[in-house]
Structure 1
Amino acid sequence: MDKTLIIGYGSPIRGDDAIGPLAVERLVERGLPVGVEAIARHVLTAELVTELAGRERAIFLDAAAGGEPGMVQVHRLEPDVDAHSTMAHFLDPSELLAWCRQLYGQAPEAYLITATGACFDYAHCQLSPVAEAALERLLEQVERVWVG
């Protein structure tokens, strides 16, 4: 099993919300280092807990809706045992980590890397110019995190 799991998530038909899955696509095209796996999802589901189990590091990639469009941020995540999801098939990263710790006795070191989008209108896998520019900066942050 690879030590690092990258999960890019978001809706590919909602403009800049596709930045997570598109980031995974670009990372795979460029070639991932040994020990790093990347997957894309529309939403974070409970089934991903089994993917996180046994990993040393998890990196979540997503679009942000608030803030200055194009801004890239890195957040260290901790399991959120107090999270109460209203839907078991749509979770946030900290809640997934809490489930992982509860079910498997540990959770990986985790980060959320976001890029603030400018447009979330219907557009299949098409980013706004601001988000496209931010995508490259997001990928640079991913590399910094997986290198440690």
Structure 2
Amino acid sequence: MRKTLIIGYGNPIRGDDVIGPLAVERLVERGLPNDVEAIACHALTIELAAELADCERAIFIDAATGGKPGQVQIRLLVPAADPHSMLVHTLDPSGLLAWCRHLYGRAPEAYLLTLTGSYFGYADGELSPVVAAALGCLIDQVARLCESPGLGPSRASPVQDKS
């Protein structure tokens, strides 16, 4: 069983929404530990539940809206209460964790790291300046989390993702 799976997701033609896949690309270029695997995707789909079932920790990376552009946040996630209430075409991280637990009997410890964007219009793979400047901070936080034993409840609050 691999230790950590990083999943960066977002739309590559919607400005800052590309932050998840772009962060994964940069992490892979930087070099990942042997027990860490990374996946970049457009959206979270139920097929990823099998990948999650085979890891101890999952780190989701996504763009956020509604906050201060360039702000990086980390949240401890818990699976949603009922996977059947979730659409299976695309899911949020808590919904995907719920399906993982339902289908495979377990879900990994999971975190959501977000970087608040400022522009989500059409911009093929281009980040806004404030988000481009914060990308390194996001990548450093993901790398530290991969190397740590986890944040635990004292450093991150468990929440169901509502993004």
What is the alpha-carbon distance in structure 2 between the residues aligned to residue 49 and residue 76 of structure 1? 18
Can you list the C-alpha shifts for 1:34-78, whole angstroms capped at 9, x where unaligned? 100001000000100011012100000000011000000000001
What is the aligned partner in structure 1 of residue 66 from structure 2?
A: 66
What is the aligned partner in structure 1 of residue 77 from structure 2?
A: 77
Secondary structure at the residue paired with 2:119?
Answer: coil
Deviation at 1:19, TM superposition (A): 0.3
Letter of the structure 2 residue corresponding to residue 8 of structure 1: G
Can you list the C-alpha shifts for 1:81-128, whole angstroms capped at 9, x where unaligned? 24632x311100011111111111111000000000010111111101
Paired residues for 1:2-13 under 5 Å: 2-13=2-13
What is the aligned partner in structure 2 of residue 111 from structure 1?
A: 111
| 1:146 maps to 2:136 | no
State the TM-score, normalizing by the size of structure 2: 0.87
What is the aligned partner in structure 1 of residue 130 from structure 2?
A: 130
For structure 2, list consecutive stretches of 5 or more residues without a partner in the other structure: 149-163
Paired-residue identity, %: 66
Number of aligned residues: 147
Deviation at 1:16, TM superposition (A): 0.2
State the TM-score, normalizing by the size of structure 1: 0.95
What is the alpha-carbon distance in structure 1 between the residues aligned to residue 74 and residue 144 of structure 2? 10
What is the alpha-carbon root mean square deviation over aligned residues? 1.0
For structure 1, list consecutive stretches of 5 or more residues without a partner in the other structure: none
